[in-house]
Amino acid sequence: MSTIVLATLNARYLHASLGLRYLAANMGELEQDTEIMEFILQHRPEEIVEALLAAKPRIIGFGVYIWNVTEITRVVALLKSVAPQITVVLGGPEVSYECNEQEIVRLADYVITGWGDISFAQLCRELLQQRPQAQKIIAGIQPKLSEIELPYALYSDHDIAHRTLYVEASRGCPFKCEFCLSSLDKTALAFDLDRFLDEMDKLYQRGARQFKFVDRTFNLNIKTGVRILEFFLERLDDQLFVHFEVIPDHLPEQLKALIVKFPAGSLQFEVGIQTLNPEVQALISRKQDTAKTEENLRWLRQESHAHVHVDLIIGLPGEDVASIANGFDRLVALKQQEIQVGVLKRLRGTPIIRHTEAYAMRYTPYPPYTILATDRIDFATMQRLARFARYWDLVGNSQRFPQALELLLGESPFARFLTFSDWIYSTTRQTHQIPLHRLFDLLFNGLTTALAVPAEKARAALENDFVQSGCKELPPFMKTEKDLPRKAKTGNLAKRQARLLAE
């Protein structure tokens, strides 16, 4: 039985909610009466409500994000229908802005906007003392980071063994990129580094080997970055994996000297490029030295073993298809391991809304508020680009098709892959649930028909990729006569049937 339940829906079971663990760690005397309950998007709302009610809580706090708001709205609606006596409190970025427009806010009892680390516990104390708040929307208090209890002890042994552990050495971001909620931050704030690294050591001693930093600007403070990299180098083993999000044009020699010491498979960098068009960068208040960025990406690829994941965004104001193509082709030329092509989402509260009318930006009216069209890219073209992004993720980022990808991209990567993307969609009318063996076959047919690659050349590349892929089922283009199902011999069967009918 729990007086208070903290709940959210994660995208996948592999994810463990850092936000809920922060709230639980800061409940003070109420922590022993607080339970964390995590679900995934695939769970039915009825199943979630049943599990929540089994804990018999008086208060349920939900962490609400752009990816789970639709599902949590259904859960809250069900809760208010079958157990209206339970107080529902919402928090998280999706309900921290434009609150009055949202159905989930109407259904809930309270909403804490912004930082909830301290404010949620305070609200719970008042509610349990029968002192309800007069205001439904409560602005979260932003305490000093030294006043916040760190949550890492609340990762269970099961979490450590089976899930991604999210950690943060800092909060906030000094940059003002208008598509990002961090543009609302005044600056980046750092946790006490000794205290933070002590918590990381405790996790490591418990067996943690996968650490995903959620800091927006890991390499903003070089001294901090150096100490963190040194910390992990001292504990380096064949299981360690550390993920950082880095500023692309800020990679001084002190960091480079440490980065090169990490072996393959131990270090991953997520590099937010978003656009290489300087005019678009200026329009969305993004400061980025493009030449330095490309230089750093080239260095990472050629001199280090780090796995580099770069991000591009489709649909930014002022950017047309030619500009997107130019940026994509330049990144392909830099031979990055992953190029994540994302489609712009209008996060609630972000300043990018100021461009809506001037650039005819139209979004889906429901989460995740995806861009549908701009004055430079019409709806039909935006749909083609969204499919491009999806197929690129399946083919280009999967690491399964290295030889075929060279044939696929050629000297004009964006144009050729868009041709392939249009072909595969016209052939299948699918962007999801494409089995791997079928994807191999589609690649063969797309290369030889849509892109006029000689069949033997395409076959040789794909056969080599297939051997390394782990795919167990042969794609049709690789099957020989002996692999095809044999036709049933019907002659004798027909004679027996005729004889039986005669009898």
Pairing of strands 165-167, 188-190: unpaired
Distance between CA atoms of residues 68 and 43, nearest Å = 11
Q: What is the mean pLDDT of residues 125-133?
A: 92
* Mean pLDDT score across all residues of the chain: 94
- In tens, the pLDDT along 401-412 reads 999 999 999 999
If one counts every other C-beta atom within 10 angstroms of the C-beta of residue 51, the result is 14
pLDDT at 487 over 70: no
The pLDDT > 90 percentage for the chain reads: 88
- Domain locations in the chain as residue ranges: 4-145, 155-377, 379-483
pLDDT at 491 over 90: no
| Among 71-80, 165-174, 484-493, the least confident range | 484-493
pLDDT at residue 501 in the model: 44
Distance between CA atoms of residues 45 and 307, nearest Å = 38
pLDDT band of 484, cuts 50, 70, 90: low
pLDDT band of 480, cuts 50, 70, 90: confident
pLDDT at residue 503 in the model: 46
- In tens, the pLDDT along 69-124 reads 999 999 999 999 999 999 999 999 999 999 988 999 999 999 999 999 999 999 99
Q: Which residue type is seen at 73? A: T
The full length of the chain comes to 503
Q: What is the mean pLDDT of residues 35-52?
A: 97
pLDDT at 436 over 60: yes
Q: What is the mean pLDDT of residues 270-295?
A: 95
Question: Measured in whole angstroms, how far is the alpha carbon of residue 491 from the centre of its chain?
Answer: 58
pLDDT at residue 483 in the model: 56
> Which class in CATH covers the domain with range 155-377?
alpha beta
Distance between CA atoms of residues 4 and 52, nearest Å = 10
The CATH architecture assigned to 4-145 reads 3-Layer(aba) Sandwich (3.40)
Q: What is the mean pLDDT of residues 303-331?
A: 97
Q: What is the mean pLDDT of residues 117-139?
A: 94
- The answer to whether the CB of 294 falls within 8 A of the CB of 333 is no
Higher pLDDT, 182 or 376: 376
What are the start-end ranges of the H helices in 83-192?
103-107, 119-128, 157-162
pLDDT at residue 132 in the model: 83
Q: What is the mean pLDDT of residues 262-291?
A: 96
DSSP 247: -
- The answer to whether the CB of 274 falls within 8 A of the CB of 313 is yes
Pairing of strands 170-172, 188-190: antiparallel
Q: What is the mean pLDDT of residues 156-173?
A: 95
pLDDT at residue 489 in the model: 47
pLDDT at residue 76 in the model: 98
pLDDT at 486 over 70: no
Q: What is the mean pLDDT of residues 461-476?
A: 92
pLDDT band of 488, cuts 50, 70, 90: very low
Distance between CA atoms of residues 317 and 115, nearest Å = 30
Q: What is the mean pLDDT of residues 17-31?
A: 97
Q: What is the mean pLDDT of residues 152-161?
A: 97
- The answer to whether the CB of 281 falls within 8 A of the CB of 249 is no
- In tens, the pLDDT along 411-428 reads 999 999 999 999 999 999
Pairing of strands 137-139, 188-190: unpaired
CA triplet 389, 395, 398: central angle to 5 degrees? 105
